[in-house]
């Protein structure tokens, strides 16, 4: 074995109530990480693809946020119902799900259509 | 702004006492993540490099474990005193620190020199 073909980082960050920026989960866990793990297992790619919990990915206005490396594909506003499509299309078939991808201009920016400072 | 030039994931996982596999931290935090954040800030690369907490990276026998994407460089047995070198050499100057890198044969394997199942 060697490095992961895909390494999926799922933000599980939760902030204090009233924080200036939103949280990706309300409980520090959220449903997405477990759903990714289950779908990756069911797709038979568990040996080469890992779903990982991550702390704050700093894209809070686009959460729940997921990033897939090494290809550095960022997904935003990911809902539980999107996980099957990301796993089957992107992680199995190598076709990132464009409708869920964050534009480069939304990443690490002080201002975008989702973040008005 | 756009995607991170380097995205550093620091395992902060902690297991129950008596677990079959070791933990990367004893308290779910550990010193490494904060040290990376501080050194990245001091090196002036905070805008393009992020140090992120991560859940279990599944390389427990090589912990504390750190992986840097998109280049997928894995570091094992990272000690607090190693952080300055990783930041200055790898993240600033683009030269991964070979003495701390895990061989590909140690990653995602059921058996290596560090993992005897």
DSSP state of B102: P
Residues of A in contact with B54 (CB under 8 A): 9, 52-55
**What's residue A109's pLDDT?**
84
Q: What would you report as the CA-atom Rg of chain B, rounded to the nearest whole angstrom?
A: 14
Backbone angles phi, psi at A34, to 5 degrees: -65, -40
Sheet containing B6-11: order of strands: A73-75, A66-69, A6-11, A49-54, B49-54, B6-11, B66-69, B73-75
d(CA A36, nearest CA chain B) in Å: 14
Q: Is B104 helix (H, G, I), strand (E, B) or coil?
A: helix
Neighbours of B2 (CB within 10 A): 13
Q: Assess whether pLDDT exceeds 70 at residue A102.
A: yes
Interchain proximity B108–A47, CB inside 8 Å: yes
Q: Is B59 helix (H, G, I), strand (E, B) or coil?
A: coil
Q: Are strands B73-75 and B66-69 parallel, antiparallel or unpaired?
A: antiparallel
Q: By the 8 A CB rule, do B9 and A4 touch?
A: no
Instruction: List per-block mean pLDDT (blocks of 10 residues) for chain B, which spans 117 residues.
Output: 90 89 88 97 96 94 95 97 98 98 89 82
**What's residue B1's pLDDT?**
54
**What's residue B40's pLDDT?**
98
**Which residue among A33, A50, A108 places its CB closest to the CB of B2?**
A108
Within 8 A by CB and 6+ apart from B70, the residues are A69, A70, A71, A72, B7
Is B55 an interface residue toward A (CB < 8 Å)?
yes
Query: In chain B, what are the domain boundaries?
Result: 27-103
pLDDT higher at A19 or B50: B50
Interchain proximity A108–B1, CB inside 8 Å: yes
- In this prediction the pTM is 0.94
| A20 — pLDDT class (breaks 50, 70, 90) | confident
Cα–Cα distance measured from residue A80 to residue A32, given in angstroms and rounded to the nearest whole number: 6
CATH T-level assignment (fold) for domain A27-103? Glutaredoxin (3.40.30)
Cα–Cα distance measured from residue A85 to residue A89, given in angstroms and rounded to the nearest whole number: 6
């Amino acid at each position: 074995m060697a490095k992961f073909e895909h390494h999926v980082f799922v933000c599980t960050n939760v902030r204090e109530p009233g924080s200036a920026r939103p949280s990706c989960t309300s409980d520090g866990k959220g449903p997405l990480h477990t759903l990714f793990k289950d779908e990756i297992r069911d797709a038979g790619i568990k040996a080469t693809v890992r779903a990982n919990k991550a702390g704050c990915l700093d894209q809070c206005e686009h959460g729940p946020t997921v990033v897939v490396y090494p290809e550095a594909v960022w997904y935003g506003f990911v809902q539980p119902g999107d996980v099957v499509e990301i796993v089957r299309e992107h992680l199995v078939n190598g076709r990132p799900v464009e409708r869920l991808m964050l534009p480069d201009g939304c990443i690490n920016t002080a201002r975008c259509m989702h973040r008005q400072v």
